[in-house]
Amino acid sequence: MLRSLVTKLSRQWYHKLARLFTNSKKYRRCIAIDETKIKIGNKWHYIWAAIDIETWEILGIMVTDWRTSIDVIKFVRSFLPYCENKSLIKIDRAPWYKWALQRMGLQYEHETFGERNAIEGWFDILKARLEKFWKHFPSNASKESVKRRVTAFVVIYNLEVRIS
């Protein structure tokens, strides 16, 4: 009974915290973007993330059912308001990035290692956190619920990055 109450209160707190996700608009030299695949129940979702290479601040996240160039455009538009300039975007060789970024008139660079490691490192942190969620994460969770939980985690992560 108590465990159930604590789980419920934690979930409610996490969802409220997700609403605090804000970043400031500033000059950003370089941003790395990527996506990772997660499974909830028997359905796969993709979590997209963008990280400022200099500050390690997460600028945006998005959860989708597919990985397409249209998803890239939608995702990039979600974090561009936090950039005063047209930042260089570091990407991997996934085919859905090139056309979308060209279409948007943004400068990008393919990179396997180097500065793009920031986003890969962040996904390692996220996946370690998500493994803890799965013990209490409903197998029928919606895409929106996944996004709220990841957003709440990003808020806490960004607060830690800013005070470090």
pLDDT tens digits along 30-44: 999 999 998 877 888
In this structure, is residue 117 part of a structural domain? Answer: yes
Here the tokens at position 83 are: 């950039």
In this structure, is residue 95 part of a structural domain? Answer: yes
> If pLDDT is split at 50, 70 and 90, which confidence band does 14 have?
low
Here the tokens at position 34 are: 């990527």
In this structure, is residue 124 part of a structural domain? Answer: yes
The least confident of 87-96, 121-130, 131-140 is 131-140
In this structure, is residue 115 part of a structural domain? Answer: yes
Expressed as residue numbers, the domain containing 89 is 31-163
**Three-state DSSP state, 94:** coil
> What is the Cβ-side half-sphere exposure of residue 89, based on CA atoms within 13 angstroms?
28
Q: 140, 130 in Cβ contact below 8 A? A: no
In this structure, is residue 43 part of a structural domain? Answer: yes
Q: pLDDT: is 149 or 122 the higher one?
A: 122
* pLDDT value at 69 more than 90: yes
Q: What is the CATH number of the domain that holds 151?
A: 3.30.420.10
- pLDDT above 90 covers a percentage of the chain that reads 55
Q: Give dist(CA 91, CA 110) in Å, integer.
A: 5
Instruction: Check residue 23 and give its pLDDT.
Output: 78
Q: pLDDT: is 112 or 78 the higher one?
A: 78
The burial class, CB within 10 Å (0-12 / 13-18 / 19+), for 131 is exposed
pTM of the model: 0.83
Here the tokens at position 53 are: 């290479």
pLDDT tens digits along 105-132: 999 999 988 899 999 999 999 988 887 7
In this structure, is residue 18 part of a structural domain? Answer: no
Total tally of structural domains belonging to the chain: 1
In this structure, is residue 24 part of a structural domain? Answer: no
In this structure, is residue 87 part of a structural domain? Answer: yes
DSSP 53: T
